[in-house]
């Protein structure tokens, strides 16, 4: 087997196109010894191959596990994304697609420099369980997908969309155990930001329409916020006309 053939087989295996058994069979066909290659690949990539199954008449599901991931770069078109805390040290991902989605159209994950990349042109429900550890970067393009981000252990976060809609809620929770930077850029999707009780907030909120609504009240636009806390959320919100709901400690909420 030529070097190019071996590289191509390993590429197909990494992407989940070939199962481990299928890739081994290809190597054995050319009298290769694949065991050592797969041991080396396991230590280099350190994530599980996807399992795909149809679990109802209308849905199909994919599941992954990753280790050593520090940043997430996700791009969606529609559906829903949920972040929660994992019960293990692994980053776990489950994705639900409509059953009519062809297998060749299912998007793939890409791992590079401890960053996990995922871009889906298919409507899906993306459920991410994050380990209890501080991570680096989150870059999340929502498209028309709703977001419920109940656990966000990232130092620097950007959540944005250029095609969001009025009925598309964007919900985020910061627990306040550490200072974080958060940028939100949407057009009209309602924004719900829940701050930990001990978390202060500094930053800027502005609406391009000129009418800024925070906690159902008209606020001077743009609004510069500077509320002290044990830790600080550095927040920048830019929107056309999204209503903003802000929850947190009494000193923060009563300012609105």
pLDDT on residue 27: 59
pLDDT tier for residue 4 given thresholds of 50, 70 and 90: low
Cβ contact 117:69 at 8 Å: no
Pick left, alpha or beta for residue 246 (phi over 0 → left; psi -120 to 50 → alpha; otherwise beta).
Answer: beta
The answer on pLDDT for 142 being more than 50 is: yes
pTM here is 0.76
> How far is residue 64's CA from residue 74's CA, in Å, rounded to a whole number?
15
SS3 content of the chain, % helix, strand, coil (to 5): 15, 45, 40
What average pLDDT does the structure give for the chain? 82
> How far is residue 147's CA from residue 182's CA, in Å, rounded to a whole number?
15
Q: What are the pLDDT digits (tens) for 92-117?
A: 999 999 888 888 888 888 999 999 99
pLDDT on residue 114: 92
Q: Judge residue 39's burial from the number of C-beta atoms within 10 Å of its C-beta, 0-12 exposed, 13-18 middle, 19 or more buried.
A: exposed
């Amino acid at each position: 087997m030529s070097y190019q053939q071996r590289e191509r087989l390993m590429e197909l295996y990494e992407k989940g196109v070939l199962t481990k058994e299928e890739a081994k069979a290809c190597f054995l066909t050319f009298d290769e010894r694949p065991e050592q290659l797969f041991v080396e690949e396991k230590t280099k990539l350190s994530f599980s191959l996807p399992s795909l199954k149809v679990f109802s008449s209308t849905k199909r599901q994919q599941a992954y596990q990753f280790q050593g991931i520090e940043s997430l770069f996700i791009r969606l078109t529609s559906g829903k994304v949920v972040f929660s805390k994992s019960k293990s040290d692994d980053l776990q991902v489950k994705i639900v697609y409509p059953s009519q989605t062809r297998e060749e159209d299912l998007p793939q994950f890409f791992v590079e420099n401890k960053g996990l990349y995922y871009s889906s042109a298919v409507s899906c429900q993306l459920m991410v369980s994050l380990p209890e550890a501080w991570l680096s970067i989150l870059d999340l393009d929502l498209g028309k997908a709703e977001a419920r981000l109940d656990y966000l252990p990232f130092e620097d976060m950007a959540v944005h969309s250029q095609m969001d809609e009025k009925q598309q809620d964007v919900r985020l929770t910061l627990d306040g155990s550490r200072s974080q930077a958060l940028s939100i850029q949407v057009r009209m999707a309602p924004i719900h930001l829940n701050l930990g009780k001990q978390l202060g907030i500094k930053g800027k909120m502005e609406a391009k329409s000129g009418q800024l609504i925070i906690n159902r009240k008209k606020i001077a636009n743009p609004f510069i916020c500077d509320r002290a806390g044990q830790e600080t959320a550095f927040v920048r919100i830019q929107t056309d006309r999204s209503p903003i709901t802000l929850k947190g400690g009494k000193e923060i909420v009563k300012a609105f």
